[in-house]
């Protein structure tokens, strides 16, 4: 174990830390005294500048903040990163599955390969990371996995169908993990950000099948307006500060084990549709089902709005 990690200091691994929520969460947790491993793709390549900035910050502020190479779409990369963290710090207490990506356009016009790539980032990636860290958490008899979803994980909108589908899938997986690990002192929680100015709007993938895309000409004005509205929302004076999400994740890390809500909605945009558990037919039916099959102890508070 690294001499810098104390016995009561939590070790945190965060994916997708080159920009956005991941980067802010890494800084926030490190400044609060955690041992943080900010992971990203291309540490020695396209993200070398982002990696260097984090390391410079760690040196300047004397933070226990490290950078590690991790591509959530690659089994070997995930295994190597987790091995590196455990070798350096001795354990992993928290894993934040933040890395992901999205596309915008008519669902039909995305090729199967594009959809697979999106699910690889947003669904299989968190599953890979979870499978890699859980044996260590099980050995420690404690742990926390934070899956960063989206309000699109509960509500689908036009032209973001595959992104929403991947986040819906992540939510379902997170619920299953949460139930199944509840007897092992390992929490799995979901953070659902609304729309934030993190630069993700500039990274959205466009449909590859332009011929199919042309068939949606009567609806493309809506797509254009949707994109323009999102751009205005994310660049205007009333845009939510992405730090809200980093603070929400930090708050979850600091809540005692077993008391964390299953879902935390972060930000004011798109939060209106969120309802209390007793008003949500889905949540009510889910509770009835778990109680009916004798799994009532696996239930936890479903939603916290941040």
Closest residue by Cα to residue 193 from 152, 137, 133: 152
CATH number at residue 110: 3.40.50.720
The answer to whether residue 217 scores a pLDDT higher than 80 is yes
Domain hosting 86: range is: 11-305
Q: State the pLDDT at residue 1.
A: 44
Is 85 within the bounds of a domain?
yes
Q: State the pLDDT at residue 176.
A: 96
Could you tell me the pLDDT band of residue 180, with boundaries at 50, 70 and 90? very high
HEC profile of the chain: CCCCCCCCCCEEEECCCCCHHHHHHHHHHHHCCCEEEEEECCCCCCCHHHHHHHHHHHHHHCCCEEEEECCCCCHHHHHHHHHHHHHHHCCCCEEEECCCCCECCCHHHCCHHHHHHHHHHHHHHHHHHHHHHHHHHHHHCCEEEEEECCHHHCCCCCCCHHHHHHHHHHHHHHHHHHHHCHHHCEEEEEEEECCCCCCHHHCCECCCCHHHHHCCHHHHHHHHHHHHHHHHHHHCCCCCCCHHHHHHHHHHHHCCCCCCCCEEEECCCCCCCCCCHHHCHHHHHHHHHHHHCCCHHHCCCCEEEC
What percent of the chain is modeled with pLDDT above 90?
Answer: 65
The per-residue pLDDT of the chain, averaged, comes to: 87
The answer to whether residue 56 scores a pLDDT higher than 70 is yes
Task: For 219-275, write each residue's pLDDT tens digit.
Answer: 888 778 777 776 666 666 666 788 999 999 999 999 999 999 999 988 764 444 444
Is 6 within the bounds of a domain?
no
Is 1 within the bounds of a domain?
no
Catalytic residue among 10, 27, 154, 167: 167
Q: Please tell me the total count of domains within the chain.
A: 1
Q: State the pLDDT at residue 78.
A: 98
What percent of the chain is modeled with pLDDT above 70?
Answer: 81
User: Which range is least confidently modeled, 75-89, 127-141, 263-277?
Assistant: 263-277
Catalytic residue among 39, 149, 166, 178: 149
Task: For 23-40, write each residue's pLDDT tens digit.
Answer: 999 999 999 999 999 999
pTM: 0.87
Question: In the annotation, is 282 catalytic?
Answer: no
Question: In the annotation, is 150 catalytic?
Answer: no
Question: In the annotation, is 163 catalytic?
Answer: yes
Catalytic residue among 10, 123, 154, 163: 163
Is 33 within the bounds of a domain?
yes
Catalytic residue among 17, 18, 39, 109: 18
Question: In the annotation, is 87 catalytic?
Answer: no
Is 173 within the bounds of a domain?
yes
Is 2 within the bounds of a domain?
no
């Amino acid at each position: 174990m690294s001499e810098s990690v104390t016995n009561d200091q939590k070790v945190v691994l965060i994916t997708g830390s080159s920009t956005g929520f991941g980067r802010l969460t890494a800084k926030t947790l490190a400044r609060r005294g955690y041992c943080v491993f900010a992971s990203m793709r291309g540490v020695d390549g396209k993200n070398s500048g982002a990696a260097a900035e984090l390391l410079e910050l760690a040196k300047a502020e004397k933070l226990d903040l490290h950078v590690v190479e991790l591509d959530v779409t690659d089994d070997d990369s995930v295994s190597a990163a987790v091995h590196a963290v455990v070798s350096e710090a001795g354990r992993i207490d928290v894993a934040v599955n933040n890395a992901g990506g999205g596309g915008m356009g008519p669902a039909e016009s995305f090729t199967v390969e594009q959809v697979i790539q999106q699910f690889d980032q947003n669904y299989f990636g968190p599953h890979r990371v979870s499978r890699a860290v859980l044996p260590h958490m099980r050995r420690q008899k404690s742990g926390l996995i934070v899956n960063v979803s989206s309000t699109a994980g509960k509500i689908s909108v036009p032209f973001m169908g595959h992104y929403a589908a991947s986040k819906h899938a992540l939510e379902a997986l997170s619920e299953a993990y949460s139930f199944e690990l509840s007897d092992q002192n390992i929490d799995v929680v979901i953070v659902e950000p609304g729309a934030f100015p993190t630069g993700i709007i500039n990274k959205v993938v466009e449909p590859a099948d332009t011929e199919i895309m042309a068939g949606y000409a009567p609806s493309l004005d809506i797509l254009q307006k949707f994109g323009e509205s999102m751009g205005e929302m994310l660049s205007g004076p009333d845009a939510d500060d992405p730090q809200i999400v980093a603070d929400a994740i930090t708050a979850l890390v600091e809540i005692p084990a077993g008391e964390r809500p299953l879902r935390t909605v972060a930000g004011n945009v798109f939060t209106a549709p969120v309802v209390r558990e007793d008003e949500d037919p889905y949540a009510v039916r889910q509770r009835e089902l778990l109680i009916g099959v004798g799994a009532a102890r696996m239930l936890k508070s479903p939603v916290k709005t941040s």
